[in-house]
Amino acid sequence: MVDMPSQLIDAAPETVENCCAPLTTHVIDDQAATSLSRVFKALGDPSRVKLFSLIVASKDGEMCICDLTEPVGLSQPTVSHHMKLLVEAGLVTREQRGRWAYYQPTAAALTDATRTLVGA
């Protein structure tokens, strides 16, 4: 056993208590938890994170599905599936123009998720 100076032992409970204090006492309900889980599940896949990042960073504020396949190295049907999950999570919106779908980021989705979690 390692000997610790008494001042460290005496300070330890207060230090642990301060470092581990909860950020909030707000507990979300089942409906909010379900909604949040969709956002986090959608961002739980590296390809979807990259797709979302590409759309957010696009100079036009939107991207066509036809421009999303090459950067992630996936087929169009696979990218469409990923995009569907991002739409369902509320992270992007989809607009059909002829045969192509265009996606725009929903800026508030991540902010809302954070606010819901911390009770702000």
Q: Which pLDDT score is estimated for 17? A: 54
Contacts of residue 101, Cβ cutoff 8 Å, sequence gap at least 6: 64, 65, 80, 83, 94, 95
51, 62, 66: which is closest to 98 by C-alpha? 66
Here the tokens at position 12 are 């330890």
Question: What fold does the segment set 30-118 form as a domain?
Answer: Arc Repressor Mutant, subunit A (1.10.10)
The domains of the chain are located at 30-118
- Cα torsion 102, 96, 74, 82: sign: positive
Q: Where does the pLDDT of residue 22 fall: very low under 50, low under 70, confident under 90, or very high at 90 and above?
A: low
pLDDT, tens only, 70-109: 999 999 999 999 999 999 999 999 999 999 999 999 978 8
**Strands 92-97, 100-105: pairing kind:** antiparallel
Summarised one tens digit per residue, pLDDT across range 23-75 is 556 788 888 888 888 888 999 999 999 999 999 999 999 999 999 999 999 99
User: Helices in the chain by DSSP H: which ranges?
Assistant: 6-19, 30-42, 46-57, 69-72, 76-88, 108-118
